[in-house]
Structure 1
Amino acid sequence: MAFSNNVKESILIPGSLPIEILDHVFSYLCHDTKFLHSCLLVNRIWCQHVVGLLWRAPFSIWLEEYKSISLINTYISCMNDEEKSWLKKNGINVSTDTTNPLFNYSSYLKVFDNCGLDMSVKTWFIHSKCISKEKDCLIIDADRRIILSEILYKLFFRQNLEFTQLTFLRKPSIFDIPSPFIFTLHPSLISQLRVLRLNFAYTTESGRFKNLVNLVAILPNLCKKLRELDICLQIIDVNLVADFIQSQENLQDFRLECYSGNIAPAISALQFQSDSLVRVEFSQIQFSGIALDALVLCKNLRILCLIRCKGLTSFTWLPLKKAEFKLQTLYVRECETTQEFLESAIETANYHLNELFMSYSSPKIIESIMKFCPSIKTFEVDIKPSSTNKFLILLTKLVLLERLSVSLLIYDASDFLTTLPNFLPTSLFDLKLEFQNTPRNLVSFLKKCRAPIQILTVFSILGVDNELVGFITKFAKESDTLRKVLINDWSGRKLVFHKYSEVWTTCSLKPRDRINNIRNYQYI
């Protein structure tokens, strides 16, 4: 269909697109703050729509110091004269001469995190004049921190906000929230809540978080439209979790982490969400004598994750053998489980399974995967020496495999790495090798590999040198597929190479990566 010149011009002129289309485009870019900041400068229309995305989720416990200070200063500029005067009366020095902000930034808040707010306030006080020095240490006035936090809460509440995501963290280093009745006075604040995360795993003094505990107790009556519910508790409050589950109208994603307590009533309550549940995750759960019977009714269940759980036996899975759901992702990592449990889970998932993540890999388990799950596209597995031959044969059967992560529980993996290229399927484009390795072995592997690998990640390389870096650079340039290489070496460095920039970058390993390196040195 031909377009008139007028239509073409309206599409090409920035800002002339319909508002609905602009919002749709910007929504895909909400995590790219650098790009969104550039969009602010295009014109006034773009600026008005982008500023809301930039200020919808400002709080994070990982904010850099300068961002936390700027964030609190901006919110203070949005306060009215009465709120600023109250801060000054309590010894909190804020300027009353600042010009009014271009936008009412506090009105855009959609994603709220109490820990992020508290840490930002703490950082702001450290760098403000509200600091007293005692024995060469910076002492923050706790009372004034609480006052500033409460004023910020009031600022948000009077904006008639509608939170879409709420995170409450109980942690010794932060303060309690204001009175929970503030939330009941503004029911619209959380009536449209879609994501709720409660982390009560941290131990604190008795009564320290009285307001937060009281609020959580009434939340099931205030927010009934959750799509995602994430609860982490030291000792499970069965009634609380069950109430949350039962009160929801369309719960799709449920995660429960609990270090002790009887979770059977919480699992039983999942049957009330049988028509909507798509993803279920259990972490740190003791399943001894508890079956996953409530999930039998969840006909739309697609993702099941079990992380660091205990007591997973054939009894746990037995009811699910009759389930009608079509499981696409099965994640069983760092769990105390039996071979029978995994065999049953793999057989139940059958050819619908696209993603499999597992720590246990006996020859019988691998045979079950070959028999029942030929459609796997993503596979992450820890391989024992007794299973390497079966595993290599399995790779030839997974003709749709696209992503593979292999952790080999053996000290000397040179023979395995030499043989591996002969068994990799031609569909593979993302490969992660998590075991002790040497530059020479890696070079040999790359020379033999015929799979069209685009992204290669290698852990625990011993002695990364200029020769290896030069070889990979040359190899990537000549390769038709390889475009990114990530190397975590034993010295604690992370090296990243991008083919199109032809530049290597180096940074320190994150704690989790260091743990992986240490784990890969252990052998059987």
Structure 2
Amino acid sequence: MSSIFSRNIPPECLKNIIEFVKEGPNPNLYSCMLVNREWMKNCLPLLWNRPFDISIPVQNGTKLMNTYISCLDEIKKQYLIDNDIYLRQNRTPQINYPAYLRELDYEIFERYTRFWLIENIYSDRASDLDTIAESLESIEIEYTNNQLKKLLPCLFSMFIEKSNNLTHFSFYSDGEMCLDIPELPTWMVSTATYSTTNNSLIVSSSHVLRTSPAASNNSNFLKNLTTFKCEVDDSDLHLPNLITFMEILSLRCKMLQTIIFTWRSLYDTNVHNYLREIVRQQQQLRVIRVNYSNINISRVDEIFQLENIKILNTDN
């Protein structure tokens, strides 16, 4: 009955129906997924495009990470197993969940991953994750952090490899969490060099992203990014991997429309050069907000001379 009903609905109408369900006061997209394959196909992008939402309870966040961890390739899974990270669900799902990701909030992603580890290691102590986290001794916190440094790179590289639809990337650090993004895999890292003579990045035909099977399977990684938000709110932070990621953005991204950038770190004083190179490459940039309290703004003054860009809330 449901299959006959859905076949009589034009695809555009079906999408509107599912969108209406999503925006309702009690959205129940999971029920819609059970109608048939066509309904499931239309529901999956809505369920998995913005999974890192601060309003989602942390218990649901750990279930989310369990699903994503099950999507890792066999090499990464074996690496985690070899490093004493127990995989609750080792079987790879048939659905490629990371492919639907559109918005990646790194702070929430790290938080969910940290709590997944806490639940995985110390679940015998209590059912409430906040209670478990507060009870950890310093040596246990150090062990959790070391395991986190092994798990985060696997997941982050998977998101970049598989997420052709990624449009928003946000990073926030105040010195307590998100001290830096993970070290990026070799295939993702650019060999572009920095010129001290003209203060700019040098990118030539020989300076390209190193290739690998993962990279060759996804030549469009990061190319659809439209929003880049970065807020570093601690003067003592040193974030070399984030700087490398910005270098990659300057090479890969051409479609950014919004850049929100705050940099209060006293390290990485050449960050303005990477910001400038990112801006230079954009074809549709409309809004840029820069807090340049620790940035030499005279080195990026051309940012503010580009046409059709709205400058918001810059500090003096």
Per the TM superposition, whether the score is higher than 0.5 is yes
User: Partner letter of residue 152 of structure 2?
Assistant: S
Q: Does 2:135 align with 1:118?
A: no
How do residues 320-335 of structure 1 correspond to structure 2 at under 5 angstroms? Answer: none
Rounded to whole Å, the distance in 2 between the matches of 1:265 and 1:21 is 51
In structure 2, the partner of 1:242 is: 276
User: Partner letter of residue 257 of structure 1?
Assistant: N
In structure 1, the partner of 2:79 is: 86
In structure 1, the partner of 2:156 is: 153
How do residues 125-524 of structure 1 correspond to structure 2 at under 5 angstroms? Answer: 125-129=117-121, 137-138=136-137, 139-140=140-141, 141=143, 142-159=145-162, 161-172=164-175, 173-174=177-178, 175-179=180-184, 181-183=186-188, 184=209, 185=211, 186=215, 187-206=219-238, 209-234=239-264, 237-263=271-297, 266=300, 268-272=302-306, 274=307, 276-277=308-309, 279-283=310-314, 285-286=315-316
Q: CA deviation at 1:213?
A: 1.4
Q: CA deviation at 1:85?
A: 2.6
The partner residue of 1:95 within 81, 88, 100 is 88
* Uncovered stretches (5+) of structure 1, i.e. residues with no partner: 1-11, 287-524
Q: Does structure 2 conserve the Cα–Cα contact (< 8 Å) formed by 1:60 and 1:117? A: no
SS in 2 for 1:128: helix
User: Partner letter of residue 66 of structure 1?
Assistant: Q
Aligned in 2, Cα 1:102/1:43: closer, same or farther, shift over 3 Å?
A: same
Q: CA deviation at 1:166?
A: 1.3
Aligned in 2, Cα 1:80/1:239: closer, same or farther, shift over 3 Å?
A: closer
Aligned in 2, Cα 1:92/1:166: closer, same or farther, shift over 3 Å?
A: same
User: Partner letter of residue 59 of structure 1?
Assistant: F
Q: CA deviation at 1:20?
A: 4.3
Rounded to whole Å, the distance in 2 between the matches of 1:137 and 1:80 is 31
Q: CA deviation at 1:258?
A: 3.1
TM-score, scaled to structure 1: 0.45
SS in 1 for 2:43: helix
Q: CA deviation at 1:251?
A: 0.8
SS in 1 for 2:229: strand
Rounded to whole Å, the distance in 2 between the matches of 1:255 and 1:46 is 40
Aligned in 2, Cα 1:34/1:102: closer, same or farther, shift over 3 Å?
A: farther
TM-score, scaled to structure 2: 0.71
Rounded to whole Å, the distance in 1 between the matches of 2:300 and 2:10 is 46
The partner residue of 2:27 within 14, 21, 34 is 34
Rounded to whole Å, the distance in 1 between the matches of 2:311 and 2:159 is 33
Q: Which one has a larger percent strand, Structure 1 or Structure 2?
A: 1
Q: CA deviation at 1:60?
A: 3.6
In structure 1, the partner of 2:198 is: none
SS in 2 for 1:259: coil
Q: Does structure 1 conserve the Cα–Cα contact (< 8 Å) formed by 2:157 and 2:184? A: no
Q: CA deviation at 1:120?
A: 0.9
In structure 1, the partner of 2:5 is: 13
Q: Does structure 2 conserve the Cα–Cα contact (< 8 Å) formed by 1:113 and 1:166? A: yes
Q: What's the RMSD between the two structures over aligned residues?
A: 3.3
Rounded to whole Å, the distance in 1 between the matches of 2:302 and 2:73 is 49
Q: Does structure 2 conserve the Cα–Cα contact (< 8 Å) formed by 1:61 and 1:119? A: no
Q: Does structure 2 conserve the Cα–Cα contact (< 8 Å) formed by 1:180 and 1:215? A: no
Q: Deviation string for 1:373-397 (max 9, x for gaps)?
A: xxxxxxxxxxxxxxxxxxxxxxxxx
In structure 2, the partner of 1:504 is: none
Q: Does structure 2 conserve the Cα–Cα contact (< 8 Å) formed by 1:163 and 1:190? A: yes
Q: CA deviation at 1:223?
A: 0.5
User: Partner letter of residue 166 of structure 1?
Assistant: F
- Percent identical residues: 22
Rounded to whole Å, the distance in 1 between the matches of 2:251 and 2:91 is 41
User: Partner letter of residue 179 of structure 1?
Assistant: L
Aligned in 2, Cα 1:31/1:179: closer, same or farther, shift over 3 Å?
A: farther
Structure number with the bigger relative contact order (C-alpha 8 A, sep ≥ 6) is: 2
In structure 2, the partner of 1:397 is: none
In structure 2, the partner of 1:379 is: none
Rounded to whole Å, the distance in 2 between the matches of 1:189 and 1:29 is 31
- How many equivalent pairs are there? 267
Q: Does structure 2 conserve the Cα–Cα contact (< 8 Å) formed by 1:162 and 1:188? A: no
Rounded to whole Å, the distance in 2 between the matches of 1:222 and 1:81 is 27
- Of 236-245 and 72-81, the range deviating more from structure 2: 236-245
* Uncovered stretches (5+) of structure 2, i.e. residues with no partner: 126-133, 189-208
Q: CA deviation at 1:136?
A: 5.7
Q: CA deviation at 1:194?
A: 1.0
Q: CA deviation at 1:226?
A: 0.7
Q: Does structure 2 conserve the Cα–Cα contact (< 8 Å) formed by 1:61 and 1:115? A: no
Structure with greater Cα Rg: 1
Q: CA deviation at 1:74?
A: 0.9
SS in 2 for 1:282: coil
Q: Deviation string for 1:217-258 (max 9, x for gaps)?
A: 342222111111111122684433333322211112222223
The partner residue of 1:48 within 41, 47, 54 is 41
User: Partner letter of residue 69 of structure 1?
Assistant: T
User: Partner letter of residue 222 of structure 2?
Assistant: I
Rounded to whole Å, the distance in 2 between the matches of 1:95 and 1:35 is 26
In structure 1, the partner of 2:201 is: none
